[in-house]
Amino acid sequence: MYWLNGVARQLSAVHLDNKPQNCHFIALKRSKHGSLFVTLTPDAIHLWSAKPTVLVSKVDRTPKHVTDFGENRSIIWKPDATSIVIVHLTPYFHSPDLQELPPPLHHSDL
Protein backbone atom coordinates (compact mmCIF):
# COMPACT_ATOMS: atom_id res chain seq x y z
CA MET A 1 0.00 0.00 0.00
CA TYR A 2 1.29 3.44 -0.90
CA TRP A 3 0.67 6.45 1.36
CA LEU A 4 1.05 9.88 -0.14
CA ASN A 5 3.38 11.93 2.02
CA GLY A 6 4.87 15.32 1.37
CA VAL A 7 5.24 18.91 2.38
CA ALA A 8 2.91 21.70 1.37
CA ARG A 9 4.49 24.36 -0.81
CA GLN A 10 1.75 26.90 -0.13
CA LEU A 11 -0.67 27.21 2.78
CA SER A 12 -4.21 28.34 2.14
CA ALA A 13 -6.67 29.07 4.92
CA VAL A 14 -9.94 29.39 3.04
CA HIS A 15 -13.20 30.03 4.87
CA LEU A 16 -15.54 27.05 4.88
CA ASP A 17 -18.17 29.29 3.29
CA ASN A 18 -15.61 30.45 0.66
CA LYS A 19 -15.91 34.11 1.67
CA PRO A 20 -12.79 36.18 1.00
CA GLN A 21 -10.56 36.73 4.02
CA ASN A 22 -7.26 38.28 4.99
CA CYS A 23 -4.75 35.43 4.55
CA HIS A 24 -1.60 37.48 5.04
CA PHE A 25 0.24 35.29 7.55
CA ILE A 26 2.18 37.40 10.07
CA ALA A 27 3.57 34.58 12.22
CA LEU A 28 4.22 30.85 12.08
CA LYS A 29 5.45 28.71 14.96
CA ARG A 30 5.75 24.93 15.31
CA SER A 31 5.15 22.88 18.44
CA LYS A 32 8.13 21.41 20.30
CA HIS A 33 7.64 17.98 18.72
CA GLY A 34 6.98 19.45 15.28
CA SER A 35 3.70 17.62 14.69
CA LEU A 36 1.61 20.81 14.81
CA PHE A 37 2.15 24.43 13.87
CA VAL A 38 0.16 27.65 14.19
CA THR A 39 -0.14 30.49 11.70
CA LEU A 40 -1.53 33.92 12.47
CA THR A 41 -3.22 36.58 10.41
CA PRO A 42 -4.07 39.90 12.06
CA ASP A 43 -7.55 38.59 12.89
CA ALA A 44 -7.40 34.76 12.82
CA ILE A 45 -5.53 31.79 14.27
CA HIS A 46 -4.93 28.59 12.25
CA LEU A 47 -3.80 25.27 13.76
CA TRP A 48 -2.18 22.89 11.26
CA SER A 49 -1.03 19.28 11.29
CA ALA A 50 2.47 18.90 9.86
CA LYS A 51 2.05 15.47 8.21
CA PRO A 52 -0.09 15.59 6.24
CA THR A 53 -0.19 19.37 6.08
CA VAL A 54 -3.86 20.08 6.72
CA LEU A 55 -5.79 22.74 8.58
CA VAL A 56 -7.00 21.21 11.85
CA SER A 57 -8.70 24.17 13.50
CA LYS A 58 -9.31 27.87 13.02
CA VAL A 59 -10.39 30.77 15.22
CA ASP A 60 -11.73 33.94 13.59
CA ARG A 61 -11.74 37.01 15.81
CA THR A 62 -14.62 39.44 15.49
CA PRO A 63 -13.91 43.01 14.38
CA LYS A 64 -14.95 44.22 17.86
CA HIS A 65 -12.48 41.83 19.54
CA VAL A 66 -9.69 43.05 17.24
CA THR A 67 -10.59 46.69 17.99
CA ASP A 68 -10.72 46.07 21.77
CA PHE A 69 -7.55 43.97 22.11
CA GLY A 70 -5.50 44.69 18.98
CA GLU A 71 -4.33 42.55 16.10
CA ASN A 72 -2.50 39.24 16.55
CA ARG A 73 1.28 39.64 16.70
CA SER A 74 3.00 36.44 17.89
CA ILE A 75 2.53 32.91 19.24
CA ILE A 76 3.79 31.18 22.37
CA TRP A 77 3.44 27.39 22.65
CA LYS A 78 3.08 25.71 26.05
CA PRO A 79 6.14 23.40 26.37
CA ASP A 80 4.00 20.23 26.23
CA ALA A 81 2.16 21.58 23.13
CA THR A 82 -1.27 21.33 24.77
CA SER A 83 -2.13 25.01 24.32
CA ILE A 84 -0.99 28.28 22.80
CA VAL A 85 -1.03 31.91 23.81
CA ILE A 86 -1.53 34.66 21.26
CA VAL A 87 0.17 38.02 21.89
CA HIS A 88 -1.78 41.01 20.60
CA LEU A 89 -0.63 44.43 19.44
CA THR A 90 -1.92 45.88 22.73
CA PRO A 91 -0.56 44.42 26.00
CA TYR A 92 -3.11 41.58 26.07
CA PHE A 93 -2.71 37.83 25.77
CA HIS A 94 -5.32 35.41 24.48
CA SER A 95 -5.40 31.65 25.05
CA PRO A 96 -8.05 30.31 22.67
CA ASP A 97 -9.99 27.09 23.02
CA LEU A 98 -9.31 25.41 19.69
CA GLN A 99 -11.99 23.10 18.33
CA GLU A 100 -11.84 20.62 15.50
CA LEU A 101 -13.31 21.65 12.13
CA PRO A 102 -16.21 19.56 10.79
CA PRO A 103 -15.17 16.86 8.29
CA PRO A 104 -15.19 17.91 4.64
CA LEU A 105 -18.21 17.07 2.51
CA HIS A 106 -17.83 14.27 -0.02
CA HIS A 107 -19.53 14.27 -3.41
CA SER A 108 -21.83 11.49 -2.20
CA ASP A 109 -23.08 13.79 0.60
CA LEU A 110 -24.28 16.47 -1.84
Torsion angles phi and psi, residue 33, rounded to 5: -85, -10
Overall pTM > 0.75: no
- Interacting residues of 68 by C-beta distance below 8 A, sequence separation 6+: none
Evaluate if residue 109 carries a pLDDT over 60: no
11-68 per-position pLDDT tens digit: 555 554 455 555 688 999 998 888 889 999 888 888 888 888 888 888 888 899 889 8
pLDDT at 53 (0 to 100): 82
Alpha-helical (H) ranges within the chain are 63-69
Contacts of range 20-28, beta carbons closer than 8 Å, 24 or more positions apart: 21/60, 26/72, 26/73, 27/72, 27/73, 27/74, 27/75, 28/75
pLDDT at 2: 45
Is there a contact between 88 and 72 (Cβ–Cβ < 8 Å)?
A: yes
- The answer to whether 23 and 41 are in contact (CB under 8 A) is yes
